[in-house]
Amino acid sequence: MVEQLRLHDGRWNVVVSPAHGGSLALCEFDGIPVLIPAARLERLGRAAISCCYFPMIPFVNRIENARFTFAGASVQLSENIAGTPHAIHGHGWQTAWRVLRSNATACSMSYRHEANADWPWSYEGTQSFEVLGDTLRIALAIRNLATTPMPVSQPVRGVRLVSLSNQSPS
């Protein structure tokens, strides 16, 4: 498992943490923090690490009392932060991501969730990071691998969702 990857191009210094939910531990441009560390994973009983970005898939924010209705069926999720009855920010940020490729200025990774009692749909999340000149490019996508439609919420403004069903994008 890859703990961290460092992306740099002379102006950008970005530290990607595949082992810690595919998060960014550091994001600086010309030595100035662009994304400010906020989340503390030790709240989840994990090793302390500050992160300034983490992928929220398949849903963002909180699902009140970890329960919702979709396509006429009630879905009960588990609490995923101790001390709250709610499900918060999906699964992607709570598990290691597999590195698909990396070099000095870019990397991509994936996370696969198999259907279980907590989330009855299988899906795959992919994300990539690239630094180039004055640009930091972050792409996050989710692909439903189930045979039925799956609810998804958009995690970051400007992210293009690749597929909301088991159909390939057209």
The pLDDT tens digits for 123-150 are 999 999 999 998 999 999 999 999 999 9
- Arithmetic mean of pLDDT, 77-106: 88
CA distance 124 to 38: 26
12-59 pLDDT per residue, tens: 999 999 999 999 999 999 999 888 776 555 555 555 556 888 888 998
pLDDT for res 88: 82
Burial 29-48 (b: 16+ CB within 10 A, else e): beeeebbebebebeeeeeee
Q: Looking at domain 5-144, does it have CATH number 1.10.10.60?
A: no
pLDDT for res 31: 92
